[in-house]
Structure 1
Amino acid sequence: MLRNNYIHSIFQVIIIVYLPIVILLSILQVYALNENFYTKEFKKNHVSENTKIELEDLNRITTELIDYLKDRRNDLNIFAEIKGKKSTVFGEREKKHMKDVKKLFQRGFILRNVGIVLLIGALLGLSKISENANKAIYQSLLGSSILSLGIMIFIFVLIQEDFYKYFTYFHKIFFENDLWMLNPKTDILIQMLPLDFFYDIATRVIGSFVGIMFSIGGISFYKLRKS
């Protein structure tokens, strides 16, 4: 009996912890690998004017960048017409940074996929060992929603206060070097993806995440009250 209670608790903790991770990484993938989102941001941030690269070429470069992050191509030796002259788009520092970014994305994909497997296992496990499986599952979903919403709202408040500050903290935590410190006057990568781009993607990811977790929490609370 004690062993079942212990396993029961482990399954609930897995749901509480991994559900928001899987949802957050999935939403991030939707935006970070969405070519239409990039095109809208290029127009909004006047990227064509700043880089002297036509929008059509910017879209092609984006396609190749996304293919690189998806591991569909091995390098970023990309050429485009810049200021009327055909030349390489990214310098060595930019390529090295994107190699680090790619590694981060690949780890994120692995974490998300492992999380999906653990979630399925935990849900099936609760269904088998719990006397009231539905209640246990809804309790886990509600707990996950409350915890993740609290954390995400706190993060949203912080980035509203000073996005650049916490964007910098993010890079210092997840990157072991300073290759991410690019020159906006000379480096095409940061001209294509300025700070406003990352602010927009962050707020959209947070907004979508909050909406999904709030819905899950609301449905779970309703089901628990009804039962």
Structure 2
Amino acid sequence: MRPATRMPKLASEPHAAAKSGSAVPAEPSMDSAGAAAAAGRTAPAAAGSPAPAANTGPVANSAPAPDAERDVFVEESPTTMLQVRPPQEEVDRRLAAREQAANTKPVLPRVFQVLMAVFYPVVLLVLAIRLVTTNAFLWIEYHRPGFPADSFGFSTDDRLTYGSYTVDYLLNFAGRRYLGGLVNTEGKPLFLDREVAHMADVKSLIDLAFLLGLVLAIVMVIGIIYLSRRSTGGVRRGLFAGSIATLVLIIGLGVLAVMGWETFFTDFHKIFFANGTWTFYTDDTLIRLFPSQFWSDAGIFIGAFVLVVSSLTLAFTWPTKDRRQAVARAKRPGRRAAAQ
């Protein structure tokens, strides 16, 4: 077995340098440099010893200054109105104004509700009159059982033909010649001059009523659109009040008509027509086409129509518990804004 041989020991760099006779400068470590610097800062200078010369040249291996000794630029915080709190009195005043604005109801929705309540009876009454002034209602009247026949020779077909001319005259833009130029089978004028004059007065009254009803209906439609967007439950309240007013009005007129139809019919004509312009003989064409039974049936239809429609409106707009709760939920703060 061959014995192990010892490897020759290599000399370190300083030792090798010492052997070669060349001096190698020693590099100062960071620990020694820091210690020297600390010693230089803390050690007091000996009395009479010369002050060390200031080193003006750059120091390659000098340690960086600590963060606490660095110059830090701090920007001053600007003073704005958002950072200045107003006095407590101003805060209370703004809060009270905000609460008052939130609790104050706008005026325009109330105005539209009142207008709807006032206009509803008029519009409904005009609509009922418009349904009466149709050839369909005329046909139903002339063909219904029990309607009195003409004692002067008009057949049902004659009545329907001549009566249709009269109704059409009320709805078109023709002048008096539309009725004044009609003749009967004998070639004589169908209507007398005073009959044509009365129908012209009726035409003017009908036109005014229809125009008024149309304008009020347009205002109601505008109010319904506005209230549906701006006032929760405003449309329902307006129609509810209008239906109550309509029922009171139509019931009152119905009682007067039942107590004395002839008196009611006469007083109505005295209000809208001049005396002596609306009375005719029994053999005049207007009386033969539109006897007293026709007008009583027309009055019953108008009253029944208005009564039924207003009652349905009252039922569908009645402020039930569920409807009141729905309105209360819709009026909660933030609900309308979230919905939009």
Q: Same fold (TM over 0.5)?
A: yes
Matches within 5 A, 1:111-190: 111-130=212-231, 132=232, 135-184=233-282, 186-190=283-287
Superposition deviation, residue 175 in structure 1? 1.4
Superposition deviation, residue 27 in structure 1? 1.6
Work out which of the residue numbers 141, 144, 147 in structure 2 matches 1:45: 147
Structure 2, unmatched stretches of 5+, are 1-100, 324-340
Aligned pair in 2 of structure 1 residues 103, 4: CA closer, same or farther (>3 Å)? Answer: farther
Structure 1, unmatched stretches of 5+, are none
SS where residue 221 of structure 1 aligns?
coil
Aligned to 2:158: 57
Count, aligned residues: 217
Matches within 5 A, 1:1-150: 5-33=106-134, 35-43=135-143, 44-47=146-149, 49-74=150-175, 75-76=178-179, 77-81=181-185, 85-130=186-231, 132=232, 135-150=233-248
Alpha carbons 1:51, 1:188 under 8 Å: kept: no
Q: Distance in 1 between matches of 2:263 and 2:300?
A: 15
Work out which of the residue numbers 250, 273, 296 in structure 2 matches 1:199: 296
Asked which structure has the greater RCO (Cα within 8 Å, sep 6+), the reply is: 1
Work out which of the residue numbers 310, 322, 330 in structure 2 matches 1:226: 322
Percent of counterpart pairs with the same letter? 24
Greater share of residues in helix: 1
- Deviation string 1:158-202 (CA, Å, 9 cap, x unpaired) is 101101101111111111342111112x31101211121111100
Q: Which TM-score applies when normalising by structure 1?
A: 0.87
Q: Distance in 2 between matches of 1:139 and 1:51?
A: 54
Alpha carbons 1:164, 1:195 under 8 Å: kept: no
Aligned to 2:333: none
Alpha carbons 2:163, 2:289 under 8 Å: kept: no
Alpha carbons 1:123, 1:137 under 8 Å: kept: yes
Superposition deviation, residue 220 in structure 1? 0.5
Alpha carbons 1:80, 1:89 under 8 Å: kept: yes
Letter in 1 for 2:241: G
Superposition deviation, residue 3 in structure 1? 9.2
Q: Distance in 2 between matches of 1:90 and 1:39?
A: 21
Aligned to 2:55: none
Q: Distance in 2 between matches of 1:126 and 1:41?
A: 41
Letter in 2 for 1:214: S
Alpha carbons 1:182, 1:190 under 8 Å: kept: yes
- Deviation string 1:35-54 (CA, Å, 9 cap, x unpaired) is 2332343354333x323122
Q: Distance in 2 between matches of 1:220 and 1:178?
A: 46
Aligned to 1:208: 305
Alpha carbons 2:118, 2:242 under 8 Å: kept: yes
Alpha carbons 2:116, 2:220 under 8 Å: kept: yes
